[in-house]
Chain A
Amino acid sequence: MLDPRQKLRRNTLLALFGTIVIVQNLVPVLGNIPIGPLSITLIHITVIVAAIVLGPVQGMTVGGIWGMITFIRAFIWPTSPLAVICFTNPLISVLPRILVGTVAGYGFLWLKRHFSIRKSMVVAAMAGSMTNTLLVLGQIYLFYHNQAPRLYAVDVRQLLPYLLGVVGTNGIPEMLLAAVTVPLIATALLKVLKKHA
């Protein structure tokens, strides 16, 4: 069990990471990189950094904050046409984001025992990022390949090629982005945290 002081420290850290996620949603420069009609998110980087630097449970919390924001935004301030249809389902918007923290956090702890810290960070970041992409798109396929025509009257015969296209155009760049940026940020933060602790 944590003593009250550590608990308070953990809570304020989590709150500030949550703030970063909110700010990334509000400021487009920080939240996504637009390339043509598509945009690559950067928010998964914050979640993975939280999972590696603060721990898996904290990563899951920050991921959960991201998921809740995606879920609420799908109703009131959608990010893409796909969001209106799919992210209104909490299983698609919240669950994969929580699991990003889980996979990156526990993955890092496990990898750390076998490889160097830097290599573990790269692999954990890639795994976390892929978890998000594959779970979101996999669930969209699972839920909508026969449901959507009845629910939304959209013709979804082209759904599978489209989703695989999204993996290529969004999932892979996001994974590479996480693999490059996460180790740089996480190493710097681990130093800062050690100095303060």
Chain B
Amino acid sequence: MSNIILGRYIDGDSIIHRMDSRAKLILSLYFIVIVFLCNNWQTYALLGIFTLACVLLSKIKMSFFIKGIRPLIGLILITVLLQLFFTSGGTVYWQWGPFKLTSFGIINSIYIFCRIVLIVVMSTLLTVTTTPLEIADGLESLMAPLRKIKVPVDEIALMISIALRFVPTLMDETQKIINAQRARGVNFGEGNLFKQAKMLIPILIPLFVNSIKRAEDLAVAMEARGYQGGPNRTKYRQQHWHLADTVGIVVFLALTGGLMLLRG
């Protein structure tokens, strides 16, 4: 459980930490879109340098990002190998049955590899420099225009905040339940599928029951504090749009321009 990097916030004081969460959310999304603009090595090099610059700006250790990618390496390699051996087109170097090694295949698999790594690094950067509550606030204010088409934005934002708040609590609780059942002699992760499934029941039922009780208690406590819902509430955490956010958007627009120019 401890090797999960994505979704963990690391305190720091850098330009990227201080940026507005709305700006970071928009820019991360936008980054995923412009990665798909890349189609030759110059464009990938440009984006690679840009990503590296962002990582350096965040003042978070590089080893941290490498640790984040490590659990994904096996998966990325399978994807790359699939691309490598099942792509047709270009010069054929080697062939055996349905497997073939072609120039298109090699180039395609390198591009796919770069694309996944760039996206993983950028999204890790977002979650590492932004607290879950900031992300929830950012999502809420980005969704605000949807109020006009009767989307219950306040309710959705409330649920996102509650859900994010209780992720660590529920994870601890799961660990406790697993240990408690272990002490009673349940062996997890052993045996065939149905043996494993049978062992899940003594974890899942207490987990669900505890969650329901927690939800009911929470609802009662919120009501007792005068929570009535609706959009007419004031906010404790205010969001501020800084100069850095505007600069960030300008930089991204310039980057898009550069990609369009270099695109083959």
Roughly how many angstroms separate A185 CA and B227 CA in the complex, as a whole number? Answer: 31
User: Could you give, for residues 150-173 of chain B, a 1 whenever the CB lies within 8 Å of some chain A CB and a 0 otherwise?
Assistant: 000001001110111011001100
Q: Flag whether A5 is at the interface (Cβ < 8 A).
A: yes
Q: Please tell me if the beta carbons of B123 and A189 are within 8 angstroms of each other in the complex.
A: no
Q: Flag whether B231 is at the interface (Cβ < 8 A).
A: no
B175-226 residues at the A interface, CB under 8 angstroms: 178, 188-189, 193-194, 196-197, 200-201, 203-205, 207-209, 211-216, 218-219, 222-223
Q: Please tell me if the beta carbons of A33 and B163 are within 8 angstroms of each other in the complex.
A: no
Name the 3 nearest CB pairs between A and B, nearest first. Answer: A15-B162, A76-B123, A12-B215
Report the minimum CB–CB distance from B78 to chain A (whole Å): 5
User: Could you give, for residues 66-95 of chain B, a 1 whenever the CB lies within 8 Å of some chain A CB and a 0 otherwise?
Assistant: 000000100100110011001111000000
Q: Please tell me if the beta carbons of B196 and A77 are within 8 angstroms of each other in the complex.
A: no
CB-contact partner of A9 in B82, B159, B188, B219, under 8 A: B219
Q: Please tell me if the beta carbons of B72 and A27 are within 8 angstroms of each other in the complex.
A: no
Q: Given that A185-B205, A188-B205 are known contacts, is A154 also in contact with B83, CB under 8 Å in the complex?
A: yes
Grouping DSSP codes into helix (H, G, I), strand (E, B) and loop, the B interface class, with mixed when no group exceeds half, is helix
Q: Please tell me if the beta carbons of A181 and B201 are within 8 angstroms of each other in the complex.
A: yes
Q: Please tell me if the beta carbons of A12 and B205 are within 8 angstroms of each other in the complex.
A: no
Segment at the interface with A among B1-9, B54-62, B234-242:
B1-9
Q: Please tell me if the beta carbons of B166 and A16 are within 8 angstroms of each other in the complex.
A: yes
Q: Flag whether A193 is at the interface (Cβ < 8 A).
A: yes
Q: Please tell me if the beta carbons of B159 and A18 are within 8 angstroms of each other in the complex.
A: yes
Q: Flag whether B98 is at the interface (Cβ < 8 A).
A: yes
Counting chain A residues whose Cβ lies within 8 A of the other chain, the interface size class is 35 or more
Q: Flag whether B46 is at the interface (Cβ < 8 A).
A: no
Q: Flag whether B232 is at the interface (Cβ < 8 A).
A: no
Q: Given that A20-B208, A26-B4, A76-B120 are known contacts, is A154 also in contact with B86, CB under 8 Å in the complex?
A: yes
Q: Please tell me if the beta carbons of B207 and A20 are within 8 angstroms of each other in the complex.
A: yes
Q: Flag whether A138 is at the interface (Cβ < 8 A).
A: no
Q: Please tell me if the beta carbons of B204 and A33 are within 8 angstroms of each other in the complex.
A: no
User: Could you give, for residues 1-15 of chain A, a 1 whenever the CB lies within 8 Å of some chain B CB and a 0 otherwise?
Assistant: 000110111011111
Q: Please tell me if the beta carbons of B119 and A153 are within 8 angstroms of each other in the complex.
A: no
Query: Given the complex, which residues of A lie within 8 Å of B158, measured CB to CB?
Result: 11, 15
Query: Given the complex, which residues of B lie within 8 Å of A193, measured CB to CB?
Result: 212
Q: Flag whether B174 is at the interface (Cβ < 8 A).
A: yes
B7's nearest neighbour on chain A, judged by CB, is A26
Report the minimum CB–CB distance from B165 to chain A (whole Å): 8
Q: Please tell me if the beta carbons of B223 and A192 are within 8 angstroms of each other in the complex.
A: no
